[in-house]
Amino acid sequence: MMRRLLLAIARAVASLILVAAFSGPLTLAFPTHSPAIRHGSALLLGVAIFETLRPRERRAAIAEPVAAVPVGASEDLVEAQRVIDELRTEIQRNREESQGRTDSLTRDVQDVLQTNSGLRQKIDSVESTLSQARAKEAV
């Protein structure tokens, strides 16, 4: 519950920042228009862009019902139905595999970002130590 609240607050703040970012340029572009029209336009533009950037919900793959092969069907029809079933199975397996790869790559990127952040902190501390050492030498 708390996570959803924080996410909603973060989305609201991001939307507010986006709307405020459009308000200034609209003021410069249309100084003679009334502020209500400019701010309304900024709100409309900000919300439209914010909603287009929002990730969409993933739709669950709708499994089509397997059609029963009619009695007395030809061998070609039976073979075609078997091939269709195999292809559907392969498609589902490929989707699951690609989702696994996507999740793995996302975790790898997050790990790299965390490592990058740690290295930046170390660089900052080394630079501050170096500047302090140079200041002591200069005195």
How confident is the model over 84-99, as pLDDT tens digits? 999 999 999 999 999 9
Among 96, 12, 21, 2, smallest CA distance to 54 is for 12
Q: What is the pLDDT of residue 133?
A: 92
| DSSP helix/strand/coil, 31 | coil
Q: Hey, what are 42's tokens?
A: 């900024």
- Residues 109-124: pLDDT tens digits? 998 999 999 999 999 9
- Residues 31-85: pLDDT tens digits? 888 888 888 888 888 778 877 877 777 665 555 555 555 556 688 888 899 999 9
| Per-residue buried b or exposed e for 25-46, using 16+ beta carbons within 10 Å of the residue's own CB | ebeeeeeeeeeeebbebbbebb
